[in-house]
């Protein structure tokens, strides 16, 4: 249960029905926050709401497709009408197609762009309409290492994530120019074991997996909750993300060749793709939950993620720690 002294925030989480969004909704609920859940899968949203209320938070269900700007605005108005404000908006909803560029249709590229990139734009605009007049609030854009380093078979998703990064950087400069206290944070994720592997459109013959190592959705959610509180400019979450981004900056041509050689088969498991449907254009029935099919291989936070989720060391604490270190050395 949350401590009585903690302030109950109003939080919106998009893509809250499964995966990272579902884990984030739970994490905010454990803090005692009021959490609005935006997604298309009503059945899963009902289960997510029950989890939040059991943890001590409050929940509001909003059945919405993030590609529909009007529907997103109506959902934000519903949150504002119920709870009076929006303190934190977490953009996380996404859709993708797992296929080569030449095997992806124009309609599929359009849908991924609308649901993923434009979904973040629609969510951000809805949040800003509430936050700018109040001159406060935090927008957290859940990004990916693939926003910096594209890989084969995921061109539509990589392009959408890169667009989100560019959009968020431009928005941040505008907020700084206007001396606004609204903050924009980006949290770029490593590979996570979510239901995406089985529910997103896969046009290949084998079952897809994120490129290992795979992290657990709860470990990712804790970092996102921390970012909502501390509002860092950007977090390259975990060693795999940091390594990918810096390799792209320092040795992009060598990385192209490495990814061409090793980035294809690493995205498959030795199982046939037996998808009977996907969630690209319409949702699927059932509650997929937060975790994907590879729970036996997912891991918790690495050392870097643990450090990134902690509050920064303030000058007073840093001097205290340094004095203790000097004292121990002088007495030895």
Q: Active-site residue numbers?
A: 157
**Nearest alpha carbon to residue 189 among 240, 138, 225, 230:** 240
Taking a C-beta distance cutoff of 8 angstroms, is the pair 119, 66 a contact?
yes
C-alpha to C-alpha distance for 228 and 87, rounded to whole angstroms: 9
Q: Residues near 135 by Cβ (< 8 Å), separated by ≥ 6?
A: 180, 181, 182
**Nearest alpha carbon to residue 115 among 61, 169, 71, 49:** 71
DSSP labels, 49-84: HHHHHHHT-EEEEEE--TT-HHHHHHHHHHHHHHHS
C-alpha to C-alpha distance for 46 and 218, rounded to whole angstroms: 19
What's the half-sphere exposure (Cβ side, CA atoms, 13 Å) at 148? 26
C-alpha to C-alpha distance for 130 and 132, rounded to whole angstroms: 6
Number of Cβ within 10 Å of residue 175's Cβ equals 17
**Nearest alpha carbon to residue 167 among 129, 116, 112:** 116
Query: Which helix H or strand E contains 36, and what residues bound it?
Result: strand 34-39
Q: What are phi and psi of 56, to 5 degrees?
A: 110, 5
Q: Exposed, middle or buried by CB within 10 Å (0-12, 13-18, 19+), for 129?
A: middle
Q: What are phi and psi of 114, to 5 degrees?
A: -70, -45
């Amino acid at each position: 249960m949350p401590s009585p002294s903690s302030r109950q925030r109003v939080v919106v989480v998009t893509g809250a029905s499964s995966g990272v969004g579902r884990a984030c909704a739970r994490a905010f609920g454990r803090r005692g926050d009021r959490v609005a859940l935006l997604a298309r899968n009503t059945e899963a949203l009902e289960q997510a709401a029950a989890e939040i209320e059991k943890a001590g938070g409050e929940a509001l269900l909003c059945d919405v497709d993030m590609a529909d700007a009007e529907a997103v605005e109506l959902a934000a108005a519903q949150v504002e009408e119920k709870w009076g404000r929006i303190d934190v908006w977490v953009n996380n909803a996404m859709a993708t197609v797992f296929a080569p560029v030449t095997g992806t249709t124009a309609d599929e590229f359009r849908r991924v762009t609308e649901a993923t990139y434009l979904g973040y734009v629609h969510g951000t605009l809805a949040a800003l309409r509430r936050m700018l007049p109040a001159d406060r609030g935090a927008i957290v854009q859940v990004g990916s290492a693939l926003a910096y380093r594209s890989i084969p078979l995921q061109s539509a998703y990589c392009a959408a994530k890169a667009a989100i990064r560019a959009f968020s950087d431009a928005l941040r400069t505008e907020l700084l120019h206007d001396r606004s206290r609204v903050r924009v944070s980006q949290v770029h994720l490593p590979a996570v074991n979510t239901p995406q592997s089985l529910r997103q459109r896969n046009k290949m013959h084998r079952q897809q997996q994120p490129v290992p190592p795979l992290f657990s959705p709860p470990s990712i959610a804790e970092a996102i909750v921390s970012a909502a509180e501390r509002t860092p400019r950007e977090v390259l979450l975990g060693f795999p993300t940091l390594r990918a981004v810096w390799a792209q900056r320092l040795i992009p041509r060598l990385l192209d060749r490495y990814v061409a050689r090793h980035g294809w088969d690493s995205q498959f498991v030795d199982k046939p793709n037996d998808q009977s449907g996907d969630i690209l254009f319409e949702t699927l029935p059932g509650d997929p939950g937060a975790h994907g099919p590879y729970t036996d291989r997912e891991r918790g936070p690495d050392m870097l993620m643990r450090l990134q989720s902690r509050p920064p060391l303030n000058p007073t604490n840093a001097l205290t720690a340094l004095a203790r270190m000097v004292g121990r050395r002088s007495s030895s």
